[in-house]
Structure 1
Amino acid sequence: MPSTPSRPVTVITGASAGIGRAAAVELAPRAEIVLVGRDPERLDDALAAVVAAGGHDAAAYRCDFADLAAVRDLAAVLHATYERVDVLACNAGVLVPKATTTTDGFELTVQVNHLAGFLLANLLRDRLTGGRVITTSSGAHIGGRIEPGAFGTPAKYRRWKAYADSKQANILFTREAARRWGPEVLTAAFHPGAVRSRFGDDNPFFRLAKRLPGFVSPETGAKTLVWLATAAPGDFTSGGYYVRGKRHAPSAAASDDEVAHELWESGAKAVGLR
């Protein structure tokens, strides 16, 4: 469906549940929403919710980020369907309990949380001119120390280390994209807070923790994403990391511009952009 000047085209990955769905519903009256998700039933349900909220021109595409061929197919369809993409929200994410290697040969967490979104943004680069890329990171990034090029499954796998590494990669990608693409494409990463969603439900301790004070609803968690998607360009700093609508300094490791450059180059080679 061709885009219209009055409604910015907003692509949200991980949109079938959680903060992705919440952001899509909130933005529906103001944008042409393109939902991307893995589960067909949840994706159809999210699309119905967006349409009911005013997204009469919304569309949904199934894509499993554990398969980079599927990401390339998605990019080709979006490229053929939309003349521009005003907002790309790279929101898809996983927390994997056991070491898993994808068909592409990468550890599942880093592929879904970083490499797939990195590939999609690069494949849509010409459609993103004048737009912005918003990436869902996490405060957990402070525990990460990603090594550029080390995208394989380690011999000793720790789920929270893998997750923290991937969230650090999100911030480094955001910084390097701002350097390479700015000012034509604005970028931002954000921490949504501890969200009471389906995320991490395979872990009984994490399910229990979600009942405690401090966890927020998906709608609250999505507020910063919605703000970054709709704010005037001068209201946020491209390449910045945001928490509750305010810019925060990420960890030193997530602020290393040399590592950001190396991560970009190694990621481009890994996903076939080089």
Structure 2
Amino acid sequence: MTTWTAGDIVDQQGRTFVVTGANSGLGAEATKALVKAGAKVIMACRDVDKGRAVAAPLGERAEVRRLDLADLASIREFAGSIDSFDVLVNNAGVMAVPLYRTADGFEMQIGTNHLGHFALTGLLLDKISDRVVTMSSAMHNIGSIDLDDLNWERRPYKRWPAYGQSKLANLLFTYELQRRLAAAGSKVKALASHPGYAATNLQTHTESVTGRIMALATPVIAQSAEMGTLPMLYAATVPDAVGGSYLGPSSLFETRGYPKVVKSSRKSHDEAVAQQLWSLSEQLTNVNYSFGT
């Protein structure tokens, strides 16, 4: 695994992927690699014009559809347009933005990064044949789940703890999804990944001094988006990747390098919190998972 690259992706002909946030950054790079490997990719994009610009040189196996993860109505509309497919890649996200709210009143980071993908996965689960891959972050280590104020309605809002909460939620969701799939006897598996410190436009959208500093530092110290997408691609395509695994870069404290299985925080493995977050997420999104029952 230490030198695995996109060139090692096994033949993906006949397989279909749904990739959220495919109009830029890691999602765009993943789309390019998957199409090159023979897959069809449904690019789920909030900005369809940017998505079409990415898709244009890739040919007919890259298809752009609109999806706004900050709007449950958009998620339901998108999910209703999808037929059966193989792999869902929950890649889209926002990072450390000011206090904004989604169309449904959720804090933007937990609403987009976790609740939007939770709803999308639940609505699509019975159409998925292989696996669900969800993008987390090393910043999950600073996160804590506040089940009494998940949407920052009573606490003073802090953008980085809010981001950490959303990325911790991604891991709690992935591990709980894997447990529930296994308990139901499903062949579908759930995995998570993180990109390390990769050069994408995510750092430039924080609308903060930190964001401006990161924008200056990223070209100097970050690894390329192509390298940053490798853990996600490994999780999405390697046939014997194990359900419940977490993939990240192998070098420099997981900031860069080739993909490997990595560890996540003790909080991410708290099954009681995971179950409570799951129940709360179902209540907030009004999306209930059936697992074939």
* AA of the residue aligned to 1:23: A
Distance 1:273 1:165 in 2: 21
Alignment of 1:1-80 (within 5 A): 6-29=13-36, 30-51=38-59, 56-78=60-82
| 1:144-159 pair list within 5 angstroms | 144-148=143-147, 150-154=149-153, 155-159=155-159
* Matches of 1:19 and 1:114, distance apart in 2: 18
For residues 108-257 of structure 1, the aligned pairs below 5 Å read: 108-128=108-128, 130-148=129-147, 150-154=149-153, 155-182=155-182, 183-202=186-205, 203-213=211-221, 215-232=222-239, 235-244=240-249, 245-257=259-271
- Per-residue CA distance 1:120-160 (angstroms, 9 max, x = gap): 110011101x3100011000000001123633234411111
Partner AA of 1:185 in structure 2: V
Q: Which runs of 5+ in 2 are unaligned?
A: 1-11, 206-210, 250-258, 289-293
Identity percentage of aligned residues: 33
**In 2, Cα distance between equivalents of 1:270 and 1:256:** 21
Please give the secondary structure, in 2, of the residue aligned with 1:187: strand
**What code does the residue aligned with 1:250 have?**
S
Aligned 8 A contact 1:189 1:240 in 2? yes
User: Among residues 268, 271, 274, which one is paired with 2:282 in the alignment?
Assistant: 268
How many Å separate the matches in 2 of 1:188 and 1:178? 8
Distance (whole Å) between structure 2 residues aligned to residue 221 and residue 153 of structure 1: 30
Q: Which amino acid aligns with 2:17?
A: T
Asked whether the 8 Å contact 1:136–1:191 carries over to 2, the reply is yes
Cα distance in structure 2, aligned partners of 1:150 and 1:15: 31
Q: Letter of the aligned partner of 2:194 in structure 1?
A: H
Matches of 1:190 and 1:166, distance apart in 2: 14
Q: Specify the SS of the correspondent of 2:85.
A: coil
C-alpha separation in 2, matches of 1:184 and 1:69: 29
CA contact (8 A) 1:18 1:218 kept: yes
Q: What's the CA shift string for 1:193-240, capped at 9, x where partnerless?
A: 111111121321121221332x111111111111222111xx322112
Aligned-CA RMSD value: 1.6
TM-score (norm 2): 0.84
Unaligned runs of 5+ in 1: none
Q: Which runs of 4+ in 1 moved over 6 A?
A: none
Aligned length: 258
Q: Structure 2 CA distance, aligned partners of 1:248 and 1:21?
A: 24
2:29 alignment partner AA: A
Distance 2:279 2:107 in 1: 18
Indicate the SS of the match to 1:60: strand
